[in-house]
Structure 1
Amino acid sequence: MTDSSQNDFIVVSNRLPVDRVIEPDGTAHWRRSPGGLVTALEPVMRASEGAWVGWAGKPDLELEPFTEDGIDLVPVPLSALEVERYYEGFSNDTLWPLYHDVIAAPSYHREWWEAYQVVNQRFADAAAEVAAPGATVWVQDYQLQLVPAMLRAQRPDLVIGFFNHIPFPPYGIFAQLPWRRQIVEGLLGADLIGFQRVADAGNFTRAVRRLYGPTTTKGTSIRVPSPDGGPERVAIAKAFPISIDVASFEELARRPETIERARQIREELGNPTTIMLGVDRLDYTKGIRHRLKAYGELLRDGDIDVGDAVLVQVASPSRERVAAYMQLRDEIELTVGRLNGTYSTISHNAIAYLHHGYPREEMAALYLAADIMLVTALRDGMNLVAKEYVACRHDDDGVLLLSEFAGAADELKNALLINPHDIDGLKESMVKALRMPKKERASRMRSLRRRVRENDVSSWSDSFLSTLRQSADAARSV
């Protein structure tokens, strides 16, 4: 680890980009977490003597800063009670449902809010301690919305960016939050506040106008009053749609062993004519229930025959201590069991339901094996699974059904765009995908692949950071 206050680029996120692994003999080591964010930021981290501030993923774990794979890591400790109140409580049972259009009812508890403030301050303190004078700090996501203002209060010399990976709700929904003003004040500590969609950035600027008056915003610019009566700053709120490491997924999908594994998957499923695939965290925002309802009705009406088609649903575990998620798992497993009990034969299941995660290699094979990808999110900041599927389809085949309520729909317009609440419309699109001629499939997929290649995750980070530097320079010249 470099000396304190010597890092020119700091990433602050809820989790560190490594997982702590305990071997059977009790020894512990760190393993890099999968994900596009660390891939995108790694070159910047190395070039700028960067540091990553985050929680190590285990409660009551006190760790000193350390270096792993050439990146300085600054662990932020959380107690078990703080994990319960800040993370499982305020972040995932208050903000998450609120920001996803109240698909599930948010819970508002003052002790959760107090824990959120305390933990955000701890993250801000950790970043302030390791940041060199004039350093750039990039804060990530909804768990840390108070950090920008807390950080600016301590270190006004810093260039501060914030990116919200999930949607930002319309003001009529956001206004339900008892601490709405404090959240907006926290975000306005940043020079640049990034969102997935233009609509999300618009929702945020409208919230600013409602709380601070109609003259505070102009286009993407927001006038931010100084808390001590000093000169105003200018912050920018703008959309930067995130993406994936396209080249990495495509290389993985082209490997002979991946292509062979895709063939084996089809064989293990009984060599059906059509494989439909859903890949989601087990979350109520993903529209898994709507997907199963539509699929069940197609089976009931004879539009799909179990001997010809199968639905593979990968639902990786998520927030299993939160009540809404426990209830969702029970509902999904009950529905899958009912449909399999009604429509499966001795040789063919109607649905292959897999409640666990898979490594990237297996996911690439699944994407290659699937004829139809079902992304039926009720609300999603982006949905990178849609982009991963497209990146893997180097054969220019496959059909993507994509919810218009996912951020990816703004870019992937040659998918079959659907409203997951419209069950009849969803069924019609599934049948259209089943019957789509190969020439049309290839034409649509080539267009989708061009779009995904144009905006990969490196382009996303480069665009954000260059805009951040420009925003900070402009703010300081006011």
Structure 2
Amino acid sequence: MTGSRSPDLHDLVVVSHRLPVTVDDTQPRWADRIGDGTATLGPAVAARGGAWLGWAGGVNASTAWFEHEGLRLHPVGLSHSDVLDYERGYCAASLAPLYQGRVETPEFRDQWRVAYQRVNQRFADAAAALAAPGGIVWVHDYHLQAVPALLRRRRPDLRIGMSLHAPFPPAELFVQLPTRAQTLHGLLGADLIGVPHPRAAATVLELAGHLLQLAVRDDAVTIEGRRVTVGSYPLSIDAAAIELLAADPSVRARATGIRAKLHGARTALLAVNRLDPAEGIEQCLDAYATLLGTGRLDPDRTVLVEVAAPDGPDTTRRERVRARIDRRVAQINGEHARVGHPVIHYLRRSPPLRERVALYLAADVLLATPLSAGTATTAKEFLAARTDDTARLVLSEFTAERLPGVTSVNPHDPDALLDAIAAAAAETGIRSANLSATRQRLHSQDMDSWVGRFLHALAAPPLRTDGDPRYVAIGTPH
């Protein structure tokens, strides 16, 4: 990636549905959206001199570029119909339920599909105009699955990466997507596809061979004379930044204040989720209610802090989820709380990282039990913050990583979930060497190393099928 070029072109362009900043009437600031992997990438991309394409939010907003802490940001505009049909329609009501294991039934409409392709073309055109010759374009998540192939048609000189942070559905669910072949072709426009879990990587390879009749060997697919590598790249966190926050006197004082407001509870459980049925919130609430009702947890000495952050635009699907959770929280408090001592503190907002770290320090147990195979970033944040290694984590077995020292559970199994929560609550306060080792691993595999690992693999020369010895294979790093 050398030679003369326009200063307005970039060797690294990141493309995501949303920009990694929040823009308001004052100054832009780094976004801090729970479960949004791209929101934490901004500083790492800025450090590499990259540019970023994404929607800034709002309708028909300005598309003029601007800078934030060394990162050039290029907004992509969405119209009112785009927001309705692309974001709230195809992304939120068609793809999200399917990719989250059909916890709720997806809905498909031709109008939404057309809008999805139209918006993806707009993103691809913008990336093609911004990337330097021979540069890297890194596309993120299921909102933009058509972009890699659309971009390759215009700019075959580019190295294109695709990262899916949401759970990729198993093959038997993916084939229900009416645009399944088109979606796969879109993804395979990339040179490297990263997914959260090794099982998901195997699924992409299986689908490419079965649906598209492409040659699959080891960790790669051959398509149109190109080799596309598929690998597991579970999203990481900035562990060092979280540990610094956990040591900040004001954050620790905030944690002490939070704990004091829990009215002397001996055991404080915490769940930090997106307001989405795939997060397993309802299953955890049911398990908690059962534990209180059977006396396995003492309602006078136990409290649950449930954070359910709004997840994207309001849709009928999300309104139903919100209503169900509201009712369940009220019912549990009505049955088990006493005056001045609720058994559930329910926060329906998205606390910034500083406040989340204070919550992590105030809690004894974190419940991170998503129902499908994604990356539990809040679990990693919790472990990074708890440098005392005495807290406990109940973690869904469907998450991308195996973290030693935590309690792994199938959140679809009510009895197993009951036992896991009860066991974790009984073990608090005991220092764990396994948790210490896991926390150190989070530091060695932090956000910056995750970015570097993906970009290093993506920048490697491609393998061609014409036998040219100048080309070598990309290998998924371990």
> TM bucket by the smaller chain?
over 0.9
1:306 aligns with 2:303: no
Matches within 5 A, 1:165-176: 165-176=165-176
Higher mean alpha-carbon deviation, 70-79 vs 239-248, is at 70-79
Provide the rounded CA distance (Å) in 2 between the counterparts of 1:396 and 1:332: 31
Give deviations 1:138-162, integer Å, cap 9, x for gaps: 0011000010011110011111111
Hey, what does 2:415 align to over in structure 1? 424
Provide the rounded CA distance (Å) in 1 between the counterparts of 2:374 and 2:351: 22
Residue 224 of structure 1, CA deviation: 0.6
Provide the rounded CA distance (Å) in 2 between the counterparts of 1:42 and 1:347: 43
Matches within 5 A, 1:116-131: 116-131=116-131
Residue 434 of structure 1, CA deviation: 1.8
Hey, what does 2:329 align to over in structure 1? 336
Matches within 5 A, 1:134-145: 134-145=134-145
The residue identity in structure 1 corresponding to 2:419 is: E
The residue identity in structure 1 corresponding to 2:317 is: A
Hey, what does 1:375 align to over in structure 2? 368
User: 438, 443, 448: which one pairs with 1:458?
Assistant: 448
Provide the rounded CA distance (Å) in 2 between the counterparts of 1:259 and 1:61: 39
Q: Is the 8 A contact 1:193 1:236 kept in 2?
A: yes
Hey, what does 1:293 align to over in structure 2? 286
1:412 aligns with 2:403: yes
Hey, what does 1:319 align to over in structure 2? 312
User: 29, 32, 57: which one pairs with 1:31?
Assistant: 29
Provide the rounded CA distance (Å) in 2 between the counterparts of 1:45 and 1:359: 21
Structure 2 residue matching 1:477: 3-state secondary structure = coil
Provide the rounded CA distance (Å) in 2 between the counterparts of 1:47 and 1:403: 34
Matches within 5 A, 1:14-413: 14-22=17-25, 29-34=27-32, 37=38, 40=41, 42-48=43-49, 50-213=50-213, 216-225=215-224, 232-407=225-400, 410-413=401-404
Provide the rounded CA distance (Å) in 2 between the counterparts of 1:197 and 1:116: 26
Give deviations 1:81-112, integer Å, cap 9, x for gaps: 10111111111111111111111101111110
Provide the rounded CA distance (Å) in 1 between the counterparts of 2:47 and 2:403: 32
What TM-score, normalized by structure 2, do the two folds share?
A: 0.92
Q: Is the 8 A contact 1:412 1:451 kept in 2?
A: no
Structure 2 residue matching 1:104: 3-state secondary structure = coil
Matches within 5 A, 1:427-442: 427-436=418-427, 438-439=429-430, 441-442=431-432
Residue 307 of structure 1, CA deviation: 1.6
Q: Is the 8 A contact 1:411 1:451 kept in 2?
A: no
Residue 258 of structure 1, CA deviation: 1.5
Query: Which runs of 5 or more structure 1 residues have no equivalent in the other structure?
Result: 23-27, 226-231
Structure 1 pair 437–140 and aligned structure 2 pair: CA distance change class (3 A): closer
Give deviations 1:47-69, integer Å, cap 9, x for gaps: 44x21111111112132222333
Hey, what does 1:25 align to over in structure 2? none
Richer in helix (by share): 1
CA-atom RMSD in angstroms: 1.9
Structure 2 residue matching 1:234: 3-state secondary structure = strand
What TM-score, normalized by structure 1, do the two folds share?
A: 0.92
Overall identity of the aligned pairs, in %: 39
Structure 1 pair 68–451 and aligned structure 2 pair: CA distance change class (3 A): closer
Structure 1 pair 459–349 and aligned structure 2 pair: CA distance change class (3 A): same
Higher mean alpha-carbon deviation, 236-245 vs 37-46, is at 37-46
The residue identity in structure 1 corresponding to 2:230 is: A
Q: Is the 8 A contact 2:19 2:52 kept in 1?
A: yes
Provide the rounded CA distance (Å) in 2 between the counterparts of 1:306 and 1:336: 14
Higher mean alpha-carbon deviation, 382-391 vs 2-11, is at 2-11
Q: Is the 8 A contact 1:51 1:73 kept in 2?
A: yes
Provide the rounded CA distance (Å) in 2 between the counterparts of 1:96 and 1:256: 40
The residue identity in structure 2 corresponding to 1:153 is: R
Q: Is the 8 A contact 2:279 2:369 kept in 1?
A: yes
Q: Is the 8 A contact 1:320 1:326 kept in 2?
A: no
Hey, what does 1:6 align to over in structure 2? 9
Provide the rounded CA distance (Å) in 1 between the counterparts of 2:124 and 2:372: 30
Q: Is the 8 A contact 2:146 2:183 kept in 1?
A: yes
Q: Is the 8 A contact 1:41 1:461 kept in 2?
A: no
Give deviations 1:189-239, integer Å, cap 9, x for gaps: 1110111111011110111011122x61101111012xxxxxx11110111
What number of residue pairs does the alignment pair up? 461
Hey, what does 2:462 align to over in structure 1? 472
Structure 1 pair 95–4 and aligned structure 2 pair: CA distance change class (3 A): farther
Structure 1 pair 42–361 and aligned structure 2 pair: CA distance change class (3 A): closer
Q: Is the 8 A contact 2:227 2:463 kept in 1?
A: no
Hey, what does 2:475 align to over in structure 1? none
Provide the rounded CA distance (Å) in 2 between the counterparts of 1:19 and 1:210: 42
Provide the rounded CA distance (Å) in 1 between the counterparts of 2:384 and 2:308: 21
Structure 1 residue matching 2:311: 3-state secondary structure = coil
Structure 1 residue matching 2:411: 3-state secondary structure = coil
Query: Which runs of 5 or more structure 2 residues have no equivalent in the other structure?
Result: 473-478
